[in-house]
Amino acid sequence: MSSTTSENAIASASTNSVTYQQTILYAAIIGIAGGFVATAYYYTLEGSLHLVWHTIPELLSPYLPLELTSGNYIWIATTIGGFLVGLALHFMGLPGEVAFVVDKVHQPGRISQKQTPAMIVASLISITFGGSAGPEAPLVQVNGSIGGWIGEKLQLSATTIRVLTFCGMSAALGAFFGAPLGGALFALEIPHRRGIEYYEALVPAVLSAILSFCVFRLNTGLTIGGMYHFAAIPPLTLWNLLQGALLGIAGALVAMLFVVIFRSIGYLAKYIEHQTILLATLGGLSIGIIACIFPQTLFFGEKEINTIVETGANFGLVMLVAIALAKMLAVSCTLHSGFRGGFIFPLFYIGAAVGLAIALGIPQVHPTIAMVCMMAAVNVAITKTPISTTIILSVLSDTAMVPVIVIASFTSFLLTTQVCLISTQRSRTISQQEPLPIAMYSVTSS
């Protein structure tokens, strides 16, 4: 029996009904469990990053020439990381990417657990060795599969299983972003191209995100609130609202350029897509070479955004644009070579770099407004999540810029409705015959 037939049979057999109170209880359990999963992933990742980029270079420095343990270490480490990613994928199977998760949320409404081990191992190696992809996508898949697994074991209806899957996804994003409401809304927005449709999952998903956020912050001790220290802005005016719209247009254009670069790298990768180890190794080498020229492109960008915010003006306009282009190339090489991870913070990083470049070139635009609006516009053009992105960035930036951010987000969203990277984004009622938009990020599975 095929996996699809098996999943449909399970969905058909799931007839147990639950009350709303029971659904809320399950959502709470999933949120708490998701918080502990995110905590374990966080500490494992932090320990791995410290080992590869601090401990090992320190141990090697007395025995190897300085030039080998400094400049060359970057590309050597990323290449080794690529080889390890290739080995993991070769022996453990290919875990699905974002498009795969979105597709499974629609039908059958849950994410299979069989790919969870491969996703955990491959994503940890990918992120540890400098790939331009973040932990949000792996955590979404892992926690989402936990939610669906609970629903399956309780033999609940397909609709309820989907709600619990959303709870798991929301738990992951609520912990990762530090914005429970924004994380839950992001999980509910990303399956679609034109707004939230699985509205029945909203309250349970938000509850899961809140509890996961609390558990994660309690266990890690990370601060609550804005993680980026943008310069304070003056009181907003109508001129600032117009700037938000113009920056939304600019963000849409930047996103389109990213799509072109992403598609081009994907076209080249197709020649060796079946040689998993070779492709991943070459991807690691490419990431390392780019990082040797532009060190700012290494890693997924969460912490690196602070460098742009605090000292980015020292780079100058041309250098900031070059960094943004290099980051687009690094993200494309990362994701097309088999490295596993998400692209939300890399997109934020690209937006921040280009936004600051715009502010340097046009002094009438406040740097904070330029950076945050561009972060929103670039991300929304790719992920189609205008509401959640606005909330998440208002929390991360710790600024009272919601009116400007939402204008930039929706401007970019409306300009890019027919182009996306996640080919499986669709309406919950879409006909199988309806053509999908121009898309370059298709479903992959084992």
One DSSP character per residue, 42-98 reads: HHHHHHHHHIIIIIHHHHHTTTS-HHHHTHHHHHHHHHHHHHHHHHHHHHH-----H
- pTM for the structure as a whole: 0.90
Gap between the Cα atoms of 118 and 35, Å rounded? 20
Round the CA-based radius of gyration of the chain to a whole number and report it.
21
Question: Which range scores top for mean pLDDT: 73-77, 406-410, 442-446?
Answer: 406-410
- What pLDDT score was predicted for residue 437? 44
Q: How far is CA 411 from CA 14, 121, 190, 249, 406, in A?
A: 42, 38, 18, 6, 8
- What pLDDT score was predicted for residue 377? 97
Instruction: With a cut of 80, say whether residue 2 has pLDDT above it.
Output: no
Gap between the Cα atoms of 347 and 326, Å rounded? 12
- What pLDDT score was predicted for residue 418? 84
For residue 419, the tally of other CB atoms under 10 A from its CB is 17
DSSP string, 357-397: HHHHH-TTS-HHHHHHHHHHHHHHHHH--HHHHHHHHHHHH
Which positions ≥6 away from 75 have C-beta within 8 Å?
A: 285, 288, 289, 291, 292
Q: Domains plus CATH for the chain?
A: 3-220 (1.10.3080.10), 238-441 (1.10.3080.10)
Instruction: Give the model confidence (pLDDT) of 264-317 as tens digits.
Output: 999 999 989 889 999 999 999 999 999 999 999 999 888 889 899 989 899 999
41: nearest Cα among 112, 124, 115? 124
Query: What is the sign, positive or negative, of the torsion defined by CA atoms of 58, 62, 68, 71?
Result: positive
Instruction: Give the model confidence (pLDDT) of 358-386 as tens digits.
Output: 999 999 999 999 999 999 999 999 999 99
Residue 85 contacts residue 123 (beta carbons within 8 Å) = no
Residue 136 contacts residue 343 (beta carbons within 8 Å) = no
Residue 95 contacts residue 119 (beta carbons within 8 Å) = yes
- Which uninterrupted H or E stretch holds 259? helix 238-269
Gap between the Cα atoms of 134 and 193, Å rounded? 22
Q: Which residue has the higher pLDDT, 432 or 294?
A: 294
Which positions ≥6 away from 56 have C-beta within 8 Å?
A: none
- Residue 95: left (phi > 0), alpha (psi -120 to 50), or beta? beta
